[in-house]
């Protein structure tokens, strides 16, 4: 007899109240918080490797060359502008969106306190590759917890839902676009930036079905993480 195909678990585009009412909080909340910490830790690993920034940070560093503001202020402004793009996409912010803004920065700083600066190239490469893989894992964890994505990941999932294209393709195109814009503005990037831009989409795509928690009641499904 042919086997019954496993049903796809979908990402729900719902607001904060519905997110809390959707159940499975003992699984979803820890997954959200651990995923966000690991996301910040993965950023710290890439920064410490010295082999290239994440694509969005290339854009931020390029803007920094033209506007007399701090790096953190530019990141905040960029986040706000990205959230404005959510409006035509009808992407709803959630609890995870707020926690994303509050926790990733401190987790990055905390990780860098005990992450030694390697002196050999091999260890730098290991930090870089490990950071990219961990970043994809962390992205799948906190997006899959279904508390709403962060500003940049929400742009990714919103565009994927509206266009019908896979998360893998949409994220890769976004990363390439922001790197190109950052480079034109004078931002600095390295081999790690290129590896991240091409690797993060497939890694997140592959792991998202594993970490996507099926909700008790799913309204307005966003897209299947397996698309």
Q: What is the pLDDT of residues 24-81, one digit of tens each?
A: 899 999 999 999 999 889 988 988 888 988 888 889 888 888 988 776 667 778 878 8
Region 13-20: what's the mean pLDDT? Answer: 78
CB contact at 8 A, 203 and 210: no
Q: Is residue 1 part of a domain?
A: no
The pair of structure tokens assigned to 117 is 């600066």
Mean pLDDT of the chain: 82
Q: Is residue 227 part of a domain?
A: no
Closest CA to 132 of 198, 217, 79, 83: 198
Closest CA to 143 of 80, 100, 86: 100
Q: Is residue 185 part of a domain?
A: yes
* Domains identified in the chain, total number: 1
Q: Which residues lie below 8 Å from residue 161, measured CB to CB, with a gap of 6+?
A: 13, 89, 91, 222, 223
Closest CA to 108 of 68, 75, 84, 140: 75
Q: Is residue 197 part of a domain?
A: yes
Q: Is residue 14 part of a domain?
A: no
- Decide: pTM greater than 0.85: no
More reliable by pLDDT, 105 or 60: 60
Dihedral angle of Cα 52, 55, 56, 60, to the nearest 10 degrees: 50
pLDDT at 72: 62
pLDDT digits (tens, 9 = 90+) for 190-214: 899 888 878 888 898 899 999 998 8
Phi, psi of 166 (to 5 degrees): -70, 155
Q: Is residue 19 part of a domain?
A: no
The pair of structure tokens assigned to 166 is 């896979």
Q: Is residue 31 part of a domain?
A: yes
Q: Is residue 111 part of a domain?
A: yes
Q: Residue 94 belongs to what domain range?
A: 26-213
């Amino acid at each position: 007899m042919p086997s019954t195909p496993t049903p796809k678990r979908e990402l729900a585009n719902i607001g904060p109240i519905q997110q809390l009412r959707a159940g499975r909080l003992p699984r979803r909340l820890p997954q959200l918080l651990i995923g966000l910490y690991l996301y910040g830790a993965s950023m710290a690993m890439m920064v410490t490797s010295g082999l290239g920034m994440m694509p969005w940070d290339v854009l931020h560093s390029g803007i920094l060359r033209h506007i007399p503001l701090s790096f953190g202020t530019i990141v905040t402004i960029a986040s706000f502008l990205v959230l404005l793009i959510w409006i035509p996409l009808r992407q709803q912010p959630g609890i995870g969106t707020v926690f994303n803004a509050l926790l990733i920065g401190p987790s990055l700083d905390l990780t860098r306190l005990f992450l030694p600066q390697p002196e050999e190239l091999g260890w730098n490469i290991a930090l870089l590759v490990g950071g990219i893989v961990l970043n994809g894992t962390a992205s799948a964890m906190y997006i899959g917890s279904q508390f709403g994505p962060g500003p940049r990941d929400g742009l990714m999932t919103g565009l994927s839902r509206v266009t019908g294209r896979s998360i893998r393709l949409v994220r890769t195109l976004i990363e390439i676009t922001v790197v190109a814009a950052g480079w034109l503005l004078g931002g600095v990037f390295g081999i790690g930036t290129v590896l991240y831009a091409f690797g993060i989409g497939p890694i997140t795509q592959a792991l998202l079905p594993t970490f996507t928690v099926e909700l008790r009641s799913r309204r307005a499904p966003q897209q299947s993480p397996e698309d």
